[in-house]
Homo-oligomer: A and B are copies of this chain.
Amino acid sequence: MERLRDVDEAALLARVLPAYDRVRPRHADVLVGPGDDAAVVAAPGGSVVATTDGMVRGQDWRDEWSSGHDVGVKVAVSNVADVAAMGAVPTGLLVSLVADPDLPVAWAVDLAAGIADVAAECGAPVLGGDVSSGPPGVVSVTITALGALPGPPVLRSGARAGDVVAVCGTLGRSGGGLAVLLEDLPRTGPAAGLVADHLAPRTPWRSGPVAAAAGAHALVDVSDGLVTDAGRVARASGVAVDLDGDALRAHHAAGPLTEVLGAGRAIEQVLAGGEEHSLVGCFPAATDLVALAGEPWVAVGRVVPAGPDGVVTVDGVVPDVRGWDHFGAG
């Protein structure tokens, strides 16, 4: 099998870059693409949105579960979701790979294909990147996503008491899929779908600008779990969020999640499951969510004044769940 150590950097790039060539920009002109010292992309509106997120083999994925393509999708989606959560559209990606020279070239090519699939769907070309040799066993992929704002950015800090909290996209499916893998449950029927969503999540990125245009006061994507990410909005905004348990059960926990994990664990995943990359918006109470373009938004709670009961409650009660922390001992 051909490995990175068998090809020089130019030969590796010659294998990887064709995957990116098919991505056509949709929201901004690429004035200089990969291959020079840096890329140049148009910044419509005179500003640029920028975010970076990386993943590491063994920590963020396992090779026995994830293909290179899955990893490419997952890292790209987590970045695109962060752009969308500002109310912006993605305009370009930069990709950095640190890899053991023992890594098969085919894996790197598959990674690029996964990134390119997300890039193509968003119309956000790969503008550049970097490859570095890493220690034995190490593979790390870091992406930076750039975006353009059709209007003012939607921050985490703008939620106001009285806002309706709504979710665009699924909840708990990625976490449920991880549970299926970790517990070696049968990967058939609805469980297969959960696993697929864990390995290669998607994000309703178009709904970020839709929410912004609808006047959303605050917007975040579900990276570390609904309670954790809604808590970030609540803290940044100086408010609290009260989630509606019935709505979450009916719209998110019911169906495949409950079939696979049972009702109790399904709602836990809805509240605490990470890497879902759905969008959570806080909208003025009068917003007609049904009228919003694109994927549906489902009301799942209310913004309430900050109180003694913690920043996020479910039906008024602090839930016994925790999200993900990158260095915490457990």
Interface residues of A (CB under 8 A from B): 4-5, 7-9, 12, 31-32, 35-44, 46-60, 81-83, 85-86, 88, 92, 94-96, 98, 101, 127-135, 137-138, 140, 142, 144-147, 149, 153, 155-157, 219-221, 236, 325-329
Contacts and interface: CB of A to CB of B under 8 A. Distances in A.
B54 A130 contact: yes
Given A5-B329, A59-B132, A46 B42 contact: yes
A330 to B, nearest CB: 10
Contacts of A12: 327
Contacts of A88: 38
Contact of A50 (B39, B55, B131, B153): B39
A131 B157 CA distance: 22
Contact of A135 (B35, B101, B133, B137): B137
A116 B17 CA distance: 33
14 contacts: A9-B326, A9-B327, A31-B153, A36-B156, A36-B157, A37-B86, A50-B127, A50-B128, A50-B146, A52-B128, A52-B144, A53-B96, A53-B130, A60-B132
B135 A85 contact: no
A46 B43 contact: yes
